[in-house]
Structure 1
């Protein structure tokens, strides 16, 4: 039987330029598993999804990241997309929000370009992870142990490389959220 996430509150942090499938597939899977999901963003109103280089759908923002706190959630999911990830790592509130999850030992899942913000938040050092291959040097320079694998799990931190890895990414995300806090998930 699949893990149930009843009563778990999960924040999805994203902005314009998010790779849509890396947002919608995990969002839908976590919702089906019983989680209460919230779209958190530095963008007001709606965010624009992308299919590669093509504009896709818009999604309503539930909460501004400036007023969000990790203490209100049980876990965090960071979808990818080059533009999304680049803008988030430049936003001080987004970086603070991500770091709080590590300080509180809560599960965090990041796919594709999303691990950029882990380097910016200072939480990549000493962690095993993966990402879109072009981020390898940035993450290694931030102190991460980078490997080219479908999914890497390290004490509540789940990372994957690209949309092809979504099935494994989603399975491990649900598993880590169900397990709850991890002592090794630290800032």
Structure 2
């Protein structure tokens, strides 16, 4: 069963984690929760989930999802997380980022010249990093799928799963 990574750090948005987690599973893939470290992380609501392994230990993945919330600000500080994100992108595997997760893409150097979207408060960050910002719920550019927020989860996951299924 192909493994799909889902990144996690403290203050993640539980909707942007749980919905993709179960949609990936429902589609016949194995969700693999990856954090900067293999430990429990708390969502903005206090809900908690344990990362299966650290980014440094991440095996070959079929794709990677990055939930939003405030977690991306922590994720982008981890060299191992950024290395994993770059690896997946470089292999041409599906890479999904929703809401504030664009911050991770920026720190990984993956935004310049790409059509992207994200939560309105990071629009300037995406644009200043060279991204071609679109005021749309979901934007697909090659292997990259970005979305603005939780209200876009159905379209975000449809697009991500379509890329996975080739």
Kindly report which structure 2 residues correspond to 1:1-187, keeping only aligned pairs within 5 A, or say none.
7-50=1-44, 55-69=45-59, 72-82=60-70, 84-179=71-166
Structure with the greater alpha carbon radius of gyration: 1
1:3 aligns to what?
A: none
Q: Conserved in 1, the CA contact under 8 Å of 2:66 and 2:97?
A: yes
Q: Distance in 2 between matches of 1:137 and 1:57?
A: 30
Aligned residues: 166
The C-alpha deviation readout for 1:91-118, integer Å capped at 9, x for no partner, is: 1111111111111111100000001111
Q: What is the TM-score normalised by the length of structure 2?
A: 0.96
Using the TM superposition, give the Cα deviation of residue 153 of structure 1 relative to its aligned residue in structure 2, in angstroms: 0.5
Q: Distance in 1 between matches of 2:29 and 2:162?
A: 12
Using the TM superposition, give the Cα deviation of residue 173 of structure 1 relative to its aligned residue in structure 2, in angstroms: 1.1
Q: Which runs of 4+ in 1 moved over 4 A?
A: none
Q: What is the TM-score normalised by the length of structure 1?
A: 0.86
Gaps of 5+ in 2: none
Using the TM superposition, give the Cα deviation of residue 160 of structure 1 relative to its aligned residue in structure 2, in angstroms: 0.4
Gaps of 5+ in 1: 1-6, 180-187
